[in-house]
Every structure is written in C-alpha cells, then in structure tokens.
Chain A
Amino acid sequence: MNFLKRAIISIKRRPGKTVILLLLVFILGNIISGAISIQQAVGNTEANLRRNLPAVATLEQDWEGVAAHESKTGEWPMVDWLTPEVIRQIGALPYVKEFDFSASVNEIFSGELKRFNIESDENGNMDFEGLGIEGLERFSLTGVENPEILDLNAGIIELVQGRHFTEQEMQNFNGSKSVAVISKEFADLNNLSVGSTFTLDNNVYDYDDNNATDEEIYKDENRFDSESYEFEVIGIFEPVAIPDTGNEWEDVPREIQIQNRIYVPNIMSETAIKFTDNVRNEHSSDNENNDIPYNNIVFLLNDPMELTDFTKAALELLPEFWMVNDLSNTFGNISSSLETLQWLASLVLWIAIGASILILSLLVTLFLRDRKYEIGIYLALGEKKIKVITQIMLEVIATGIIAITLSLFTGSLIAGNISENMIRRDLIAGQQDEDSSNVGLITVGGSDALAWFSNGEMSVEEMLANYDLSLEAMTIVLLYSVGVGTLLISTVAPILYIMRLNPKKIMM
C-alpha cells in the first residue's frame, strides 16, 4: 500500500471527483489539443506547399530596393549587370543542381523567315515582338551557357529531333557561323529541319527619332550597320506545357514567344550584342556601359525545401539591388490565411494554458480541502510530505493523462473541421476580392523566366489539399508535454496547501 497504490485507490473509490477532474481536463485538453494540432498543421502545410513548389530560383534586379533607395536618398542608383563570375559562384553553391543564364539578343532580322503567330479572336494580333513589315521580320536569340539547355532538363521543352549543344560549340564561334535549336512550329513554318541552315541579320538601326513609325525605322536608309550570321539547325524542340494563367494577354504572347525562340550558345549572342553596342557607340556621343546584360538567370535546386537556404547564401554573393526570386508567392493567399490561423491558435493555446492552470489549481485545492483529514492521517502516521505530494500529483496527472489522451483525438478532429472551414472561407473571400479587381487568384509574380516553371493557378481545393491536420508524433509529444506541464504547474498551489498542513491541528 505505497503512495502509488493509495493514489490508484483514491482515483477508483472517489469516482465523482475523478469524473469532474477528467471532464474538466478533457474540455481544456480539447482546446489545447486543437490549438497545438493547428499549429503543427500550419507548419506541415507550409512544408507541403514548399515541397510541391518548383525547385527553381532566378536572380533579378530589386526594383523595390532601388525605389526605396531613391526615395531615401533622392538618387537613382546605378545597378550593374551581373557578371558571369558572380553567377557561376552562386551556381557552385551546394543547393544548385544546374543553372543557366542568357545573353539575349532582342532584335535580329530576316527578310525570308516567318514568325509563328496566333491570331486571337478577341484581341487580334498578339505577337508583340514581331514587326509585321513586308519583307522584314524581327526575331530574338536566347543565348545559353549550359550546353544541355536548362529548359530541356527542367522539362519546359523537349527535343523532338536532333541534339543539344556540345562543349565545343559553346566555346567556339567564328563570327559568322553558329548552331541553333529551334521550335518545331518555327521549323515547319520555314521548311527547316535538322541539318538545314538559316541566316539572321544583326541590323543596327537609328532609333533617335522618337516619332518615327516602324516602317520608317526599319528601312535600309535608317540602318547604321549590319552583320549576318548563318545558323545550322542542330535540334528541334516542342514546348512541354505553356503556362496557363487564364489571362490571354499573358498566355498567348508567351506561347508565341517560345515557339519563336531560337536557342544559341552565349558566345554567339554575346558577339552579336557587342557588335550592336560597338555600332551604337560609334554613332552616339554617350559613352555607354557595354557590359553584357545577362538575363534569365535560372537556378534549378536539388530540393525546394532548400530555397530559403539558397536565397540566404546567394544574397551574400550578390551585389546591391539584386534579389533572389522564386515561386513562393504562388501560394500567397493560403500563406496569409495560415499566418492568421497560426496567430489565433497560438493565442488560444496560451489563453487555454493560463485558464487551465488557474481552473485546475482551484479545483485540485478545493478537492484537497475535502481530503484534509485523509492527508492529516498520513502525516500523523509519519508519512513524508513529499510522498503525500507525489500521491496527489500522481492522482491529478493519471486522471489528466486519460483526459488528454481522449482530447488528443477529439481536439484534433474539432480543430481540423473548424480550421479548414476558416481557411476555406478566407481563401474564397480572397478569391472574390481578387476576381473583383480582375486579378487571377494566384498569379505568377516576378520574372517571366519563373513563369515557365509555375504549376499555374492553385484552386482553393488544391490549396486545402495541402492543409495537413493529421495526428503525428510531434503533435502527440507536444500535447502530452504541454498537458502534463500544465497539470504539474496546477499542482503547485495544492502542494503549498499540503506543506502548510499541521497534523496536530487536523487530528486533535
């Protein structure tokens, strides 16, 4: 009949008090369990969303930072282009699977080749890059540094004929002949196939007349200089998936753009850019900075969960006013709902713990007053106070643990229903707000390069599918820790009560 057995007898033989304590802890436990479950679920959901996020990041100029600097200092800062060395340093970070960057030629011309185009029923011609002038068409060149072409490895395009570049092709360019990978639509439109060649002219026109029309600008008399390049088609690709944002003004131009894309080695496009810059400098009084403006700086990471670490490491290597962008903002709405929910759950948790300590302390002390004589007997018989205290704590904790175990399931179930409904309502409200302002539910923010990696819009149901309120080991451990901790703190007042008991006053 040690104090442990006495505790068990006390719990069994005083069912009324045991049930009251059990019910109270069960009710409070439900609130605590619900709050902990929600907190865990928010963490899980963020991890789920991040796990499903494309493991891709881009480097972009931080225009918000530039604007902030300007408003603070009154000066618009000079933002240098990134050098290949900095990009390669970031590409060497352990989080990076592969990377690419592009020296893009925005204007290169042909009198013979045709552009792929889609005429929109509602909006007419949406090929904003094309010229549409009789006898002259405008193209662009997408330089690549990675011979395997990152877009291929990332699944944006697939090779349907031929091959990608070789290391030798990436490093050698004789100034006039190069190799290219083109789309199937473009190839079919221009009767090109692997092995055939086509020529593009690097015409440098005088743009000084701001009021001139395209026909006036792009005529031979207005041309400063020109250099022609012959390209051998070594590969033909098809886009795998065109981003579908539901916005025709974004989707159609994007499809036109990829179907007209001509991949060339950076060494070739850099030569074309330098030629243009040299010609312009010859005809201009301004001494312009002739750094190559590398863009589409894309990093494929090993794991989307490493995006944060990658960003942190990359920022340390980047010069001022450059930033790392990723697709985290594709779940912006649910993030803010989850943030609100976590704040609420955290608040409820602390209030519930405080209330539990107060209520349980009072209840147990009240129960102990009824047991004053029993405790007096133990003390009169010479029992150590520590053993009496341990017995009382065991009784409270044993009953409490049964109640916590029950509340673990019910609390999590109730919290699951309530929190899911809260998020759904919040998301639908957010969707309606955005619909009313003609903005898609989830839009791909930031660079166009990132848009190709986006999984597109996420519906409310898709977002909710990531909301994972399941009972897991950490939730259980946390609930028992918080629950038992709360019960232990709740026995402090009763312990003080027992410490002050004098058996003589009780028994005689």
Chain B
Amino acid sequence: MSFLTVENVNYFYQDGDSKRIILNDVSCTFERGAFYSILGASGSGKTTFLSLLSALDKPQSGMITYEGNNLNELGLESYRRNKIGIIFQAYNLIPFMTAVENVRVAMSITENDLPDDELLVAYNLLDYIGISKEKANRTVNQLSGGEQQRVAIARALATNVDLILADEPTGNLNEEMEEEIVDILRELAHEHNKCVIVVTHSSQIAEQSDVTFKLTKGSFEGEV
C-alpha cells in the first residue's frame, strides 16, 4: 500500500456549456522518505493538483488515498489538520504574530500527539530550520523572505506529520535562499522519512528531487 495514491483524478471548471479541463485522469503514487517535484509551466494544473493533495479542494472524479484511506472519508478538514503540512509560495504567515507564535498556531490546531512543552518544541524546530530564538520572537514581518519561508517550513513540521506539501516554496526567494530551502526539504525527506512534494516550475528544483512528475495540460507525461 502506497503512502499517498492519486487514482484517475479529474478536475475541470464548467464554463457555460463547455468544460475547461485542468487535470485529466491523473494517477500517481508517493512514498515516505522521498522528495518529489511536480514540474509544470503556468496553467499546467500543478497548483490545482497540489490543492487536491492538500484537501483544499476535491476532485470531480477519481480518488486520493492517504495510507489507503480516501481523503473524503478521513474528512478534508481533519486531513489538513492532522496529516499534512503545507508551505505556500507567499509564506502565508500571520503578520501580527511572532515566528514562534505562528508555529504554535499550527500546533494548537492539530489533534496529533505533541510534546507537552510546545513552546520549547517550537523554538527547537525554528532553531533546526535556522531561526534563532531572538528572531523567533520577532513578528514575522520583521524577518526576511527566506526567514519567513523557514518559519513556514517550521510551521508545516510542527504538527508532527509525514506529508509535506509545498507550492512554489522558493518562488519569492533568491538563488542562495532557494538552495537552502531545497536542502532543508531534501533533508526532511531523506533524514526524517517524510514524504515531501513540491510543486514548481523550476527545473533546478526538479533536478534535485528524487522523483519528478511533469504535468502538461492537465496530464502527467510520466516520471522523469
């Protein structure tokens, strides 16, 4: 049984009488301990694909299973709360909160078992990602873009989940920062046995991933 399975997923927008197909009969599997990239140009359907993997939306047909369980049965909200960590291109941190508070927000939402001393865990996690305690106590808009993305990664990891989904995580960062973030994501997959799936249009990131699915006009061309 695969960790995460996508089976014959279709997604389209109804535009009057015509259908605009975004994803067309997409199937693939993902496993723990691997760093995946979904590569595609703008409009290829990769963000929609990630929104389905992250249960922010539902496919019109087909099925996505997590450890053999259909996401619909798990409950989309519960799946987001307890099974995945999401990293967005625009970081999507709460601006009036500090870095550590942003991490703790995710910890307060999940129902997963977490260590009792949440604050210490949050600081340690941020430290592991490269955010010092001093920076952790700053409101996030006082941090650089790279630092904010690190906080977003820490937030994704804070709920002790095995599936990390990232939407163009380096899209707003310079090359140096991009490398650092990709290194972290790779490390998470390889050293912490997480399943990391990154949606990107960057072939450089794709090159560093273990498996790349190339998405063109809503269909996979196959593993690269």
Contact = CB atoms under 8 A, between A and B. Distances in A.
The winner among A10, A378, A380, A381 for most chain B CB atoms within 10 A is A381
Interface stretch (B25-33, B86-94, B143-151): B86-94
A270 B181 CA distance: 115
Given A9-B101, A504-B51, A381 B88 contact: no
The winner among B51, B94, B101, B106 for most chain A CB atoms within 10 A is B94
Interface residues of A, number: 23
A474 to B, nearest CB: 40
B108 A382 contact: no
A381 B80 contact: yes
A227 interface: no
Given A378-B109, A381-B105, A382-B77, A373 B92 contact: yes
B211 interface: no
Given A380-B80, A508-B47, A503 B93 contact: no
Interface residues of B, number: 32
B23 interface: no
Contacts of A219: none
6 smallest beta-carbon distances between A and B, as pairs: A382-B81, A382-B80, A1-B104, A504-B56, A13-B96, A1-B108
B163 to A, nearest CB: 13
B96 A376 contact: no
A336 B18 CA distance: 73
Given A504-B57, A508-B56, A382 B92 contact: no
21 contacts: A2-B108, A6-B105, A6-B108, A13-B97, A13-B139, A374-B94, A374-B95, A377-B93, A380-B54, A381-B105, A381-B155, A382-B77, A382-B79, A382-B81, A382-B110, A383-B109, A504-B51, A504-B56, A504-B57, A508-B50, A508-B167
Interface in A1-55: 1-3, 5-6, 9-10, 13-14
A381 B106 contact: yes
Interface of A: 1-3, 5-6, 9-10, 13-14, 373-374, 376-378, 380-384, 503-504, 507-508
B166 to A, nearest CB: 12
Nearest to B168: A508
Contacts of A507: 56, 88, 92
Contacts of A374: 94-95
A382 B109 contact: yes
B88 A508 contact: yes
B109 A10 contact: no
B78 interface: yes
Nearest to A504: B56
B200 interface: no
Given A1-B108, A381-B81, A507-B88, 11 more contacts: A1-B118, A9-B97, A9-B101, A13-B96, A13-B139, A374-B95, A377-B92, A377-B93, A381-B86, A383-B81, A507-B92
B105 A1 contact: yes
Contacts of A381: 80-81, 86, 105-106, 109, 155
Contacts of A377: 92-94, 105
B13 to A, nearest CB: 13
Interface in B92-127: 92-97, 101, 104-110, 118
A86 B78 CA distance: 79
Contacts of B108: 1-3, 5-6
B109 A503 contact: no
Contacts of B47: 508
Given A13-B97, A504-B51, A504-B57, A376 B109 contact: no
